[in-house]
A and B are shown apart, each in its own frame.
Chain A
Amino acid sequence: MSREVVLETRDIWKRFGGIIALRNINIKVFKGELLGIIGPNGSGKTTLFNIITGFLKPDKGRIILSGEDVTGFSPHEMVKRGVVRTFQLVKPFMGMNVLDNIRVALYMRHGLMSRVSEREIIGEAREILKMIGLSHREDVSADSLSHGEKKKLEIGRALALKPKILLLDEPTGGLTTAEIDDIIRLIKDIHENGTTVVVVEHNMRVIMNLSERLIALNSGVVIAEGDPKDVVSNPEVVKAYLGERFAVKSR
């Protein structure tokens, strides 16, 4: 099966002071797939996201987006090219209401000078709120939303940008079981609509439920890659998560 590669990292290195956060990362994201990335805390998942989306510049290596070298591009240039992210620690525009949070993203997608009327923007924003299940909260200030609602809003804001590749950083972190189910359904919907999705997660239930392909990172190195079932039973991965003893047992 030869699938189109939409995003590729080539030999990415990133160092923070004495710590090497990423060493020689080579990953490929295929068009239309739902890729999961797992790894213990500090394994470099978020750093990788930051580098792909332009929030950090790699020390070495290149980022290739659909054949274009986008290494060192700023976040807004990446968004323009359809690479959109969410944050592990939610970052809604706190002082704004839910609808305006989405509106700002829509302004950016249509361009500040676009002739798209405010009425159309609001209509579009309401459709997104419907999709993420926050219609009844549109007038509420973002800072008074529950944690789960903030997570949804964050995904909604990303959707407003019509991403080609959506990178979700722990979308279910700190949520209740019911909320997690909502988010899983939402991510599946987004994926079924043709968006390529990359999810970083800790929650194994979520990651096994969602991902078609899985990459495991540990200490800044890719330690396993492939079918999710194979990856989670890979001794290296078990060892990284649970320590040496369990790795031997699981064999």
Chain B
Amino acid sequence: MRMSSLNNIAYIILLIIIFVLIPLSGNQYIIHIMILSFINAILASALDLLVGYTGSLILGYAAFYAVGAYTSTLLSINIGLSPWLGVALGGVASMLAGLAMGIPALRLRGPYLAISTLGFGVIVYLLLINLDFITRGPLGIPNIPPLPGAGLIDFSSRTSYYYLMLTVYIIILYILWMLTSSRYGRILVAMREDEDAAKAVGINTSLYRISVYMISTFIAGVSGGFYAHYIRYVNPDMSSLSQSIAILSMVLLGGAGTVIGPSIGAFILMFVSEILRPLLEYRLLIYGTLIILIIRFFPGGVYGYLIKNLVQRKTVSKEIVGEVKT
């Protein structure tokens, strides 16, 4: 057991070294895709907290990404707020939106929850289009200020933004890992496995569900803010159904409920969709097919498949079996 956790740490360090070295290639295109991958990996990991750890199928998740991005954008453009503070407040705004969706949805499960969150996503999308005196409607908002640098670091350069996103990504993934492997995380899994049984052991399921909605949507909002100050342009498509489906595909492709899985999914999908750029119009079709195939043939996602076929064959570590089962 000790051996395998040492191995895991070795893998993680190796991965971080690779990530750190990538910008040295100087390939701006790769760096750009990597930055977007980090942002999407953060977003997908946040969604996984709901999909994987509480078993809630959320279809309109991109709404929170958009709320974070627009909040930060509008605050920094209209009242000149520091984009750093804007990103944090974007997280808060997204969290409030999460409460607005989460509280009424507390009693809903399965497809009903999915439909109601889909509705929420559509509402945010329509608001972004129709409140054009604030959001400029479908035109979107250009010329968003970049994150101001500190000292010698200037975040308008792609390479420094890359390292910033890498750092944020590692911090958030670490927090999520701590959270899900804590007592709190076990309680979430218990709720997912059986809500009635969870109540019967004294879990205030509503409270826990709301708390996890808040954490998840805060992170989603923050990732939206980082996106806005990187691309420096936002439009309502950030909250579109296809964006939501894309995030969900990342979670399912990588492996829901595994912390690291959604990141794998995010990196694969970001690079694949770059390769398949000519087929952009068929994005939803591809994602939809992908989701069906994954659920049918690889319910544990890529990560689950890897663990099952590579790691388990070597060492039947009970801990890992437990993890993959989730």
Q: Chain A interface (Cβ within 8 Å of chain B)? A: 53, 55, 74-76, 79-80, 84-87, 91-97, 100, 103-105, 107-109, 112, 139, 141, 157-158, 160-161
Contacts and interface: CB of A to CB of B under 8 A. Distances in A.
Interface stretch (B64-72, B98-106, B285-293, B318-326): B318-326
B199 A55 contact: yes
Contacts of B184: 112
A96 B322 contact: yes
A107 B325 CA distance: 22
Interface in B180-198: 183-184, 186-187, 189-190, 192-194, 196-198
B193 A87 contact: no
Given A75-B202, A95-B192, 16 more contacts: A55-B199, A75-B200, A76-B205, A91-B197, A93-B189, A93-B197, A94-B193, A95-B189, A95-B325, A97-B322, A100-B322, A104-B190, A104-B201, A104-B203, A107-B187, A161-B201
B167 interface: no
Contacts of B189: 93, 95-96
B204 interface: yes
B187 A87 contact: no
Nearest to A101: B190
Interface string B289-326: 00000000000000000000000000000100110011
Contacts of B325: 95, 141
Interface of B: 183-184, 186-187, 189-190, 192-194, 196-205, 318, 321-322, 325-326
Contact of B196 (A55, A80, A97, A112): A55
A76 B322 contact: no
A213 B325 CA distance: 44
Contact of B199 (A76, A92, A139): A76
Given A74-B204, A76-B202, A141-B325, A107 B186 contact: yes
Contacts of B205: 76
A108 B322 contact: no
Contacts of A94: 193-194
A76 B187 CA distance: 13
A7 B204 CA distance: 23
B308 to A, nearest CB: 15
A59 to B, nearest CB: 20
Q: Which of B198, B202, B318 has the most CB of A within 10 A?
A: B202
A130 B189 CA distance: 25
Contact of A79 (B183, B193, B196, B201): B201
Given A104-B186, A112-B184, A96 B193 contact: yes
5 contacts: A74-B204, A76-B203, A80-B202, A100-B322, A141-B325
